[in-house]
Amino acid sequence: VTASLPKGFAASGIASGIKADGSLDLALIATSPVSAVNCAAVFTQNLAPAAPVQLSRRHLEASGGRVGAVVINSGCANAATGSQGLAAAERMAALTSSQLGLETHHVLVCSTGVIGRELPIERIESGVPVLCRGLESSGAGLARAARAIMTTDTREKLASARLSSGAHVAAIAKGAAMLAPNMATMLALLMTDAEIPKDQLQISLGEAVDRSFNELSIDGCTSTNDTVIALASGMASVGGPLEGGELTAAFTAVCKDLAHQMAADAEGGTKVVRVVVTGAVDDESAGIAARRVADANLVKCSWYGADPNWGRIVSELATAKTAFDPDRVEVSYGPFIVCRSGVAEPHDEAALAAYLKGPEIEVRCALGLGEGSGEILSADLTHAYIDENMGLS
Amino acid sequence: VTASLPKGFAASGIASGIKADGSLDLALIATSPVSAVNCAAVFTQNLAPAAPVQLSRRHLEASGGRVGAVVINSGCANAATGSQGLAAAERMAALTSSQLGLETHHVLVCSTGVIGRELPIERIESGVPVLCRGLESSGAGLARAARAIMTTDTREKLASARLSSGAHVAAIAKGAAMLAPNMATMLALLMTDAEIPKDQLQISLGEAVDRSFNELSIDGCTSTNDTVIALASGMASVGGPLEGGELTAAFTAVCKDLAHQMAADAEGGTKVVRVVVTGAVDDESAGIAARRVADANLVKCSWYGADPNWGRIVSELATAKTAFDPDRVEVSYGPFIVCRSGVAEPHDEAALAAYLKGPEIEVRCALGLGEGSGEILSADLTHAYIDENMGLS
């Protein structure tokens, strides 16, 4: 998997020794040549935000949304680590900024990994100079950065898009569990060489996140560290600032691509499941109902077993605390309607069984109440998810 | 497991053929001699209530809360079955009432099993006469009824209590999954020979349910069929009506006993986990936070693996949408404080590892914000839960 970097960016990824197995664990995305550029960000709504989230929020405020580099470690979330954790995040930013010749508040920090453990700052102190020397503007640098932010991900996640002006968007992300509501519960970095006013950058990023990562739920858990950052170098500008709608569309496409990659790489997941609710009283209710279905363990287990147990789906729709009429609901798996007007609908059982065994299935729930619609991208709950999460990690 | 029946009750359980494996699947609790007595009930809040729930609500209203018998089948929930399902539930009540010589509205009906399948009413038609003939006032009859309401339960669940007046409470219950918020998401029947005014019976039952089944969550799923019914024969009355507080205490003790039995028999569960939240701004917030922790898959997997991963617990407390201060939280496993003031607290790791491997663990979360407290009884998420729920069932 490769994607080229937009103009004005360089990337790097190294193994600093935070991860015991010696795999890549320190990543850097920097402007090239180094300078502070327009930046937008969306952070977790978790009320115990990790130290790097606290620090990055503060730096964005201090810098007025101008950022020159983002340094990221995997293998340790630096969350629930108190004032010592905050000092470690500050040190990580300071080391990077001094290496690159930036003011400290122009550097953002992300961390991902186990909560409640101290960041091994000495590894980062020896790693950051190597990391900065390794910066390169090729796709190989970006691919290494994408690998260095992985935790339980089995593959790196990159996406890109071209804008009509010739400008370019590229992005990397990580996330395989603790993926759920209200902000992505993952890390993602978007880079574009388009020239974008700061306010528009934030608007486009917010809309893209709402329609991608916020429609993704693997296990209903919202992490302490989730961060999506967008940087705009402006170096591809040809005829002035880009039209906002085009940027939003490009960001949304890239974020949806990454969200799908995350669902496909969900911890232990064997299939991607799209839950679509239509006919709700409004879009918000539809989204809540879709999430209720997608997060229900009994439903997720049935997906794993390719069991067409639509009764569990109806039961979840009916406990989503949104309007529901059991006599109007229709449930379909892909093209197969299995429940109509709230009761079983005859269907081709062999064909449905084959469909449910596929790598990607769609569950459609038509509530028959109004025009609201919403969807959630999810995965099944499997033995391998248990394996992944029952051990010390 | 046995418990004797209070005076004025008889019970029965047979295999009618609803369950393919020939195990008991039809149960009856009746007054003896047959008469309509005071009855209270609490039903599921699911907006797609099963046909028997709809019918029982209607019969309670029509009879003014006077009930002579409760007939229950397992193996089929008779939910999401539309008008045909309601007719089947009505037929089940009518068959029972005519056999016993009661008016139909003095009979309540419960069903439990798979949602979305038609009730095999011909099995019930041939079974009900046998069921009624099998009524007996011994503990053996009650034990057979307790076995006949089981679905994925591995053992029958009975509990009893003595009142100071000499009156007696006995109860049976079933439930191993789809156990969660807002009413028990299971079936339970309480019988007492105490003389209790109807209003007091409902008050005592409601309080008991709130402090037992509503503090139980196995998988966060609320069923379509959950029903708790209490019948008071009044036949043990010696010195007039019982004091309400004593009945509430006895019902609560019995329901807590049954809730614990359900947690211990949770689908695939290897341990009972009590999540206690203290120091919340109020009791409601504490209950919400405890439920958030108890329902989080990442946390439930860590219990299965005896992994002292308190960071996941903090993260869930911080996303419960209730007040939270990451600098004040304290987390303990039993006597071992693992997180104080939001950061790791040194502890005896070997002793903690041994504690976490036990059959019953307590997770205490002190929020440091106020006087609110709440708790949820739960279980771990295991490979066997997946096995149980991935197949056609």
> How high is the pLDDT of residue B216?
81
What is the C-alpha separation between B345 and B52, in angstroms, rounded? 52
Residue B260 is inside which H or E element, if any? helix B244-264
The predicted-structure confidence for B35-93, as pLDDT tens digits, reads as follows: 999 999 988 888 888 999 999 999 999 999 999 999 999 999 998 899 999 999 999 99
First to last CA, chain B: 27
What is the C-alpha separation between B141 and B302, in angstroms, rounded? 41
The predicted-structure confidence for B102-141, as pLDDT tens digits, reads as follows: 999 999 999 998 888 899 999 999 999 999 999 999 999 9
Predicted TM-score of the model (pTM): 0.82
Average pLDDT over residues A277-288: 96
Alpha helices in chain A (DSSP H): 51-63, 82-100, 121-133, 139-148, 198-210, 244-264, 283-295, 297-304, 310-317, 349-356, 383-390
The beta strands (E) that lie in B113-167 are given as 157-162
DSSP A284-322: HHHHHHHHHHHH-HHHHHHHHTT---HHHHHHHHTTSSS
Residues ≥6 apart with Cβ < 8 Å to A187: A72, A110, A112, A149, A173, A174, A175, A225, A226, A227, A228
> How high is the pLDDT of residue B385?
84
**Considering only CB atoms, which chain A residues are within 8 Å of B310?**
80, 116
Any A CB within 8 A of B249 CB: no
Selected residue of B84, B297, B302, B321 to mutate for chain A interface (largest A Cβ count, 10 A) = B297
Interface touch B390/A302, C-beta < 8 Å: yes
- Chain B residue with the nearest C-alpha to that of A318: B47
The predicted-structure confidence for A213-223, as pLDDT tens digits, reads as follows: 888 877 666 77
The predicted-structure confidence for A61-101, as pLDDT tens digits, reads as follows: 999 999 999 999 999 999 889 999 999 999 999 999 999 99
The predicted-structure confidence for A168-190, as pLDDT tens digits, reads as follows: 999 998 886 555 433 334 788 99
At B194, list the tokens.
Answer: 């105490």
> Given a cut of 50, is residue B185 above it in pLDDT?
no
Residue A337 forms beta bridges with which residues? A332
> How high is the pLDDT of residue B362?
97
What is the C-alpha separation between A249 and A31, in angstroms, rounded? 23
Chain B residues 129-168 with a CB less than 8 Å from chain A: none
Question: What is the set of active-site residues of B?
Answer: 185
Compare CB distances from A319 to B46, B317, B386 and report the shortest one's residue.
B46
A334-337 CB contacts, 8 Å cutoff, 24+ apart: A334/A361, A334/A362, A336/A308
Selected residue of A54, A183, A319 to mutate for chain B interface (largest B Cβ count, 10 A) = A319
What is the C-alpha separation between A204 and A275, in angstroms, rounded? 25
Higher pLDDT: A358 or A115? It is: A358
The predicted-structure confidence for A242-260, as pLDDT tens digits, reads as follows: 788 899 999 999 999 988 8
> Given a cut of 60, is residue B178 above it in pLDDT?
no
Average pLDDT over residues B218-246: 80
Compare CB distances from A311 to B115, B307, B386 and report the shortest one's residue.
B115
> How high is the pLDDT of residue A289?
95
Residues ≥6 apart with Cβ < 8 Å to B157: B1, B146, B172, B173, B174, B175, B258, B261, B262, B265
Decide if A310 contacts A285 (C-beta within 8 A).
no
Interface touch A302/B224, C-beta < 8 Å: no
Any A CB within 8 A of B281 CB: no
The predicted-structure confidence for A357-367, as pLDDT tens digits, reads as follows: 999 999 999 99
> How high is the pLDDT of residue A184?
33
At B143, list the tokens.
Answer: 């034990």
Bond from prior residue into B308 cis (ω within 30 degrees of 0): no
> How high is the pLDDT of residue B164?
82
Selected residue of B390, B392, B393 to mutate for chain A interface (largest A Cβ count, 10 A) = B390
- Chain B residue with the nearest C-alpha to that of A392: B307
